[in-house]
Amino acid sequence: MNIEPIAYFRSLFPTKFGIPRQSGIIEELRGQIVFEPSFALADALRGLEGFDYLWLIWGFSANAADGRWHATVRPPLLGGNRAVGVFATRSPFRPNALGLSSVRIHSIECAAGRPLVINVLGADLMDGTPIYDIKPYVAYCDAHPEARSGFVDENEWRGLTVLFPPELERIFPAEELCALKRVLALDPRPQYHNSPTKEYGMPFGKYDVRFTVDGDRLTVIDVVPL
């Protein structure tokens, strides 16, 4: 089966580094689904205004194109120390590099002569990610609040305390700053990194956010225009 993107995603993350590990964790995080011209038909979205959430089926476009995958992976939630089966995880390195995310619909733009756009909240996608399909989230059959979640239930993600100098906070609009702080609190570093002197850079929108991590404290030390 050959599939082609119906749209591309626009977000504040130009690279994979720092992207939330799951959709819905950072509810303030804005993004856009911008439809390709051949699929930009307002009729195709008729009735979507009655839904609150979407499922996105998308491609891990930043992965290496060699097609290699492994039967087991080491999830970040397990500290990168324990291997589990790839199909028991949401690892991006899969036989078919497809992702699935649930996002909240913020607004729909379908004015004549303008690009067809769905503005969404809470996505975990990199800028430029190809979107292959969208489907409405239907609560009565998609929500399973009592479901078990395997090793996720057994391992609580410990967030970081973020120290952000006020003079650097003022660079960002309030909503972006809130989302950025929550992204940093999730600890964007690879799990095997644990040096209090190492300086990291995370591209976010038009800026490179520089920070260090010592124990459970992340300190922003600079914000540099890209």
Task: Kindly report, residue by residue over 161-198, the tens digit of the pLDDT.
Answer: 999 999 999 999 999 999 999 999 999 988 667 788 89
Residue 78 pLDDT > 90: no
Chain segment 135-153, per-residue pLDDT in tens: 999 999 999 999 999 988 8
Residue 67 pLDDT > 70: no
- Residue 90 within any structural domain of the chain: no
Number of domains in the chain: 2
What's the pLDDT at 192?
A: 67
Please tell me whether residues 108 and 218 are part of one structural domain. no
Please tell me whether residues 34 and 101 are part of one structural domain. yes
Please tell me whether residues 132 and 172 are part of one structural domain. no
What's the pLDDT at 129?
A: 97
Residue 120's domain comprises 7-61+97-142
In whole angstroms, give the CA distance from residue 6 to residue 8.
7
Please tell me whether residues 21 and 132 are part of one structural domain. yes
- The total of other beta-carbon atoms located within 10 Å of residue 135's CB is 12
In whole angstroms, give the CA distance from residue 131 to residue 57.
6
Residue 41 pLDDT > 80: yes
What's the pLDDT at 195?
A: 81
Mean pLDDT of the chain, nearest integer: 92
What's the pLDDT at 64?
A: 61
Please tell me whether residues 137 and 165 are part of one structural domain. no
78 vs 83, residue with greater confidence:
83
pTM over the 0.75 mark = yes
Please tell me whether residues 110 and 40 are part of one structural domain. yes
Strand 161-163 and strand 217-225: pairing? parallel
Please tell me whether residues 138 and 205 are part of one structural domain. no
